[in-house]
Structures are given as structure tokens and as C-alpha cells.
Amino acid sequence: MKPYHFFFLILVFACQKDKQAPANNASETFPIPIIWIDTQSVPIDSKEDYVDATIVIEGGDPNHNLAETTTRIKGRGNSTWSLGLEWGKKPYQVKFSDKTEILGMPQDKKWVLLAELSDKTFIRNKIARYLGNNSRFDYTPTAQYAELYLNDEFQGLYLIGQKVEESSNRVDIGDEGYLVEIDQIHRIDEGDVYFTSEPYVRVNGENVFNIKEPGLEAGSEEYLLIKNHIRAFDEVLFSDNFSNPTSGYAAYIDVDSFIDWFIINEIAKSVDARWYSSIYFTYVPGEKIKMGPLWDFDLSFGNVDYADAEYSYGFWVLNNPWINRLYQDPVFREKVNTRFAYYYDSLPEIMAEIDTYALHIESAQVRNYTTWETLGVRVWPNPVWFETYQEEVDQLKNWITDRMNWLNTEL
């Protein structure tokens, strides 16, 4: 390439950047950061195989910029991946060779890029994390807004954040702990190691307990330890003396984490938290089973049309096998009722937080919907959809308010 051709291309590229990524609204504390990922035009069409890439992050808080760094990128998600293939805006996972800090979040190797196609507010996952961070969990994943360019093509607004995995900066369970996800057999990957829980199988025959951490072999001593411990808990929980404060369920579980997990997922009416998937818990031998971390809230807060989770009234997560049995204990039930008052009293702060998010991404969401014309269009599994972004935000706020008021009456 001749030198003047090279400099001409640089000039054109710079103009494209300015045209597609204008300065954000001055009301934002910092502009929305921009993530540039370059795969040398190699397509990302697999959830299993990584593609080599470089990444640059700039344009937000200058203290959190990331100079050009090598990384790898692949697709991620289940229904969100299928949705991305349909619309073109895909969710991704990037993996660095060394632990790397991203946008002020504690350093680690793997990061997820959530496309949020179904959630037109881009707020549901953020507000669930807000609730989690104001609760009694050991850890709640964090995520930040960013705009993504892939091979110089604008991809829209994303959430980039931590994934649920064992790490000193994430799910800190040490060398002996277990991270388990309650999932469905058809979603299990080849090589996954899992076991079953009779109470869950009884309500949903596809349920399995997938051991995410550590990597182990079925039938090994480590495998039998976690499987037998959970089955012992199941036996006690569904026994006649399950509420005994010494020998009952309280000897096995961290009750506070179970209560907060139940309430937040019930407020959100998270469709998967009933028994389907993305239900995480941890166990460190010698300690108690803890629910969490929270995960996957794009199909929550009424944003689903294939279940009663659509409506702001009615219990949903209360039908989770473990939660339903625990709720039969008057002591547990009273603790739930008392704890819910904490969240209900926080409703004004929750509404203010939603407004803050909406204001922060005001300019970015416009650019996103200029590229992806999904406003006013049904995107699976929207039960309702609106012509403007503000109407989507108002719908979310109204749904949460109605939901909290209904729960306050019932509890």
C-alpha cells in the first residue's frame, strides 16, 4: 500500500469513529466507554471455539482505559445466543491470558458482553445487581455499560461484566469449595459433571445439579462429597423434623442467603429461578450451603410471555422446591416477611437508581436503537413493547412498583 493510501484510510477511519460515537450527554459522570475488538475479520460464530483478537477500551473514565491488548473471544449464552444469531447483535465472552482489570472492576481473565436484546431498557440486570449489592450475599457480579465496535463496525450498547466462576475476586470458595448450578439436562455441555436432587426432579424431570467448580470426575471422592451432602440436606429438609433449630435445615444452610435470594428473585419474578436454570449455590466443606450469586435477569421484571412470571401479581419463586418447603416453617416465613420490609422501604431508592441508569445511557441507547431497530417491535419473549425508550423504562418502573405493592400486601 502506498503511503498516501495508508494515511487516507486512517483519516476515513477516524471520521467514522467521530460520526458513529459522538460525545455522550453532559449529564453523565463519564461518557459511555467504547470497546474496540478486532479479530482481523474472522467471524465469531461459535460458543465453543475462541477467536484470537485484540481489544482496546477508551472514552470513559480515563483512569480505566485499556491499551491494545491481545485476547480471545467467542459467543456465549443459550437463548440469548440464538436471539443474537437471529438479530445480528450477539453476546460474547472474552478471555485474557493474564488477569486484567476492566473498567474499574477487579481483575480476572474472563469477561462477558451481554447484548441485552430482549431487555430494551438495558436495566434489568443492572437493577438486580443493585439489589444484590445491598443484600447479604458474599458476592454479586458487577457489570458496566459500554459501546462495542467489532472489526470497526458498531455493535451497539452492551453490559460488560464479571461471569459466575470461582476466583478470589468473584466466587471465593478456595481450593475445597463447590460452585453448583441448578440447570436442565438439555443445556448440559459435553464433559459437565452433575447429579440429581429428588425434590427438583419431582417437579421438573430435566433438573440436574451441574458442578461448575471444581473440575472433577463423576464418582470421585470430591464428587461423592457434594452429591451426598446435598442429598443429606434434601432428606432433612423434607423430613417431619425439618424445622428443628438444631438438627433441621438450619444446620445445613446459611438462612440469610436463602432469604435474600428468594426475595430478590421473587421481586423480579425471575422466570428461571423457579427451577429452570441459573440457580447458583456454593458449599465449602465444614460450612453451610449458601445461595447465590444472583445471575441472569434479562427475562425478569415482567419481561416474559410464556409463563405467569409476566404478571406483577402472584408468587412464582415460592414454588421453587427448596424455598417452598422452607416457607412452611413459621420461623423462616416470619424472617422473610421481616426482611421484605427492608426491600419495600427501599422502593424510592430503586426507582431513583433506574432513573440514574436511564440518564447515563441516554445517548448510547439512541445510537443502539438507530443500529438495531427493535423499539416498537416484539423481540422474544417480550409480552409488551413500546415505540420509545422512555416508555420501556416507565413500564419497568410501573411493573416493579405494582409488584412490590402486591408482595407487601401478601407478606
pLDDT of residue 30: 79
pLDDT tens-digit series, residues 154-163: 999 999 999 9
β-pair partners for 75: 92
Share of the chain above pLDDT 70, in %: 93
As a dihedral over the C-alpha atoms of residue 385, residue 390, residue 396, residue 397, rounded to 10 degrees, the angle is -150
Would you say residue 159 lies in a domain?
no
Give a yes or no: residue 373 inside a domain. no
**Interior angle at CA 132, CA 127 and CA 135, nearest 5:** 135
- How far apart are alpha carbons 8 and 289 in whole angstroms? 61
Residue 362 carries which side chain, given as an amino acid letter? Answer: E
Backbone dihedral angles phi then psi of residue 127, each to the nearest 5 degrees: -75, -30
> Mean pLDDT for the chain?
93
Beta-strand runs (E) in 191-264: 194-195, 207-213
HEC secondary structure over 94-158? EEEEEEEEECCEEEEEEEEEECCCCCCCCCHHHHHHHHHHCCCCCCCCCEEEEEEEECCEEEEEE
Q: What is the pLDDT of residue 6?
A: 35
User: Could you give phi then psi for residue 296, rounded to 5 degrees?
Assistant: 70, 80
pLDDT band at 12 (very low <50, low <70, confident <90, very high): very low
In a domain, 125, yes or no: no
Quick check: 141 pLDDT over 50? yes
Identity of the highest mean pLDDT range in 9-18, 182-191, 239-248:
239-248
Q: What does DSSP say about strands 34-38 and 143-150: parallel, antiparallel, or unpaired?
A: parallel
Q: How far apart are CA 69 and CA 248, in angstroms?
A: 52
pLDDT in tens, 309-318: 999 999 999 9
Residue 405 inside a domain? The answer is no
Q: Which residues are CB-contacts of 319 (< 8 A; sequence separation ≥ 6)?
A: 203, 274, 275
d(CA 349, CA 1): 57
Number of folded domains that form the chain: 1
- Rounded Cα–Cα distance for residues 79 and 28 (Å): 32
Q: Is the pLDDT at 178 greater than 90, yes or no? A: yes
Q: What is the pTM of this model?
A: 0.92
As a whole number, mean pLDDT of residues 101-109 equals: 97
pLDDT of residue 29: 64
Closest by CA to 107, choosing from 116, 98, 115, is 98
Phi and psi at 154, nearest 5°, equal -70, 125
The predicted structure's pLDDT at residue 358: 98
Position 11 scores a pLDDT of 35
pLDDT digits (tens, 9 = 90+) for 322-355: 999 999 999 999 999 999 999 999 999 999 999 9
Are 143 and 125 in contact, with CB atoms under 8 Å apart?
yes
Domain residue limits at 230: 178-345
Examine the pLDDT at 17 and tell me if it is beyond 90: no
163 is a domain residue: no
Distance from the first to the final alpha carbon of the chain: 71
Per-residue model confidence (pLDDT) at position 13: 35
Whether 360 is covered by a domain: the verdict is no
The answer to whether residue 53 is domain-embedded is: no
* Alpha-carbon span 74 to 207, nearest angstrom: 27
Domain contains 136: no
